[in-house]
Amino acid sequence: MSVIGDHPPRSLQRGQVHAGGGPRAPRGHVHGAVVVAGREQVLAAAVPFLESGIRAGDLVVLACDEATAAPLRAELGKHDALLSEPRIALRGARAPDAFGLTRRLLDRAAASGSGRLRILGIPEFGPDPISWREGQRYESAANTVLRDAPLSALCVYDTDVLPAPVVASACVTHPYLLARSDLAANPDYRPPRRYLAELPLPREPVEDGAPVFVVDAVAALPDLRRQLGAVLAEWVPDRDRREDLHLAVSEIAANAFRHGTPPVSARIWAGPDRIVCTISDGGAGLVDPVAGFQPAHGDDLSRGGMGLWLARKLWDHVDLLHGPDGFTVRLSSPLN
């Protein structure tokens, strides 16, 4: 993996892309990463990338914590085209919302300057493996969701802050790695369809016990919705949170009846800190691993296709599982 200051490996010296968005840079989505050690190296990697975007007339966005954004703004000076939006780095937002924010910023960039968006991202990965997985999945899915966008993004992975498995994932979720001043094609990059299928699924401790709700071969969707609502009312004390979770799982259940193959079944495991719900049917299910990171029909929500998107917005973790007996959507969230 490329660490700032290293010489790029020979395999990376072919087809280099200039970080400044010059004539050699493609016009689509350029998604790169750099691995650093400590705050000084974070700034050393970020400042040239950001300065290049300012010179080019890009809309430049700092997607990082304020402790990092403040010295970057001090170094770069005041610019109308320099914004801060930490939610793009999953700070206080889930992946569908982060992608929605990015698209709105792309619209803003299209109306001014070079027409290009430039993002310096320091992703938020959370404290445990299941949270790391969401950050890794987001970084990978971006390569499909934003593949045609006029966007240059550099994601900075700090070994002083991030766990080793997260740092290692940078080398397979980013098509480019920063080596000195260039973004070089990454020979170890894995496309989302492959990478997301290979991600391990951390099992929640609550799943080691018996489920608190089991129903098989459900006859009708209204019955299942009502039963799910009753279980959530018992285990989720916060009303707003409960209604969000119920809305999303009801949409997943509707998809199973509408698009799946009978029988439709459901399971819920719950404890003081975590709830896990699965909706299963006997069909083949979805084959697109990035389904639900944006509405199925784009901005036209009147056409439907929002069930899985709502689930990813309202539950912390959503997994699409294929097995010999059919297809399962697994939803998981903390309760505090």
Single out the residue of 197, 202, 195 nearest to residue 276, CA to CA: 202
Q: Which of 23-32, 96-105, 145-154 has the lowest mean pLDDT?
A: 23-32
CATH topology classification for 10-195: Rossmann fold (3.40.50)
**Percent of the chain at pLDDT exceeding 70:** 89
8 Å CB contact between 147 and 140: no
Q: pLDDT digit string (tens) for 4-58?
A: 434 333 333 333 344 444 334 446 899 999 999 999 999 999 999 999 999 999 9
* H helix and E strand count, the chain: 9, 13
Distance CA(285)–CA(280), nearest Å, equals: 9
206-334: same fold as 10-195?
no
What is the arithmetic mean of pLDDT over 265-280? 96
Strand partners, 183: 17, 178
- Going by the DSSP 8-state scheme, the letter that residue 82 receives in this structure is E
Structure confidence at residue 90 (pLDDT): 95
- The residue ranges of every structural domain in the chain are 10-195, 206-334
What is the arithmetic mean of pLDDT over 206-215? 96
Q: Using the structure block, give the residue that is written with the tokens 């766990």.
A: 163
Average pLDDT, the chain: 88
Instruction: For CA atoms 245, 193, 64, 150, give the dihedral sign.
Output: negative
Structure confidence at residue 135 (pLDDT): 95
What is the arithmetic mean of pLDDT over 112-120? 93
Q: Is residue 298 very low, low, confident or very high in pLDDT (cuts 50, 70, 90)?
A: low
8 Å CB contact between 272 and 334: no
Assess whether pLDDT exceeds 70 at residue 299. Answer: no
What is the arithmetic mean of pLDDT over 150-177? 96
Structure confidence at residue 26 (pLDDT): 46
CATH topology classification for 206-334: Heat Shock Protein 90 (3.30.565)
Assess whether pLDDT exceeds 70 at residue 199. Answer: yes
What is the arithmetic mean of pLDDT over 239-257? 96
